[in-house]
Amino acid sequence: MLAIDAGAMDFLECTPDNRIQVGGRQGDVLEQLPERFLLVSHGLSLPLGGPAPLDHERLRRTREFFDRHKVAFFSKLLSYCSDDSC
Q: How many CA atoms lie within 13 A of 45 on its CB side?
A: 6
Single-letter code of the amino acid located at 82: S
CA gyration radius, the chain: 15
Task: Write down the pLDDT at residue 80.
Answer: 60
Task: Write down the pLDDT at residue 71.
Answer: 92
* Tens digit of each residue's pLDDT, the chain (86 residues): 678 887 888 898 888 877 777 777 887 888 888 888 899 998 877 777 667 788 888 889 889 989 988 999 998 876 665 556 55
Q: What percent of the chain has pLDDT over 70?
A: 86
The answer, as to whether pTM is greater than 0.85, is no
Which DSSP helix (H) or strand (E) runs through 29? helix 24-32
